[in-house]
Amino acid sequence: MSEGLKQYNARHYHAAAELFNKAEQGTLNNQQIHLYTGRTLEKLKDLPGTLEEYCDPRISPTRICF
């Protein structure tokens, strides 16, 4: 997660997305990983991926996304 944040803050969004995806593989329901993955995908203009991260029912089961 910390290496992904370094890449995100350096505006290396493709590298950050890859690192966040790897971090997500090793943990369950980490809201911070989903938040930063969503923000990263937003910077990469991947709207479907962004919405998928922000609306993940495992992370926010009460949130309704359209």
Nearest Cα to Cα of residue 33 among 7, 59, 64, 65: 59
Does residue 43 contact residue 36 with C-beta atoms inside 8 Å? no
Q: What is the pTM of this model?
A: 0.82
Question: What local confidence, expressed as pLDDT, does residue 17 receive?
Answer: 96
Task: Note the pLDDT of residue 47.
Answer: 93
Contact 36, 4 (CB under 8 A): yes
Tens digit of each residue's pLDDT (9 = 90 or more) over 7-58: 999 999 999 999 999 998 877 778 889 889 999 999 999 999 998 888 877 6
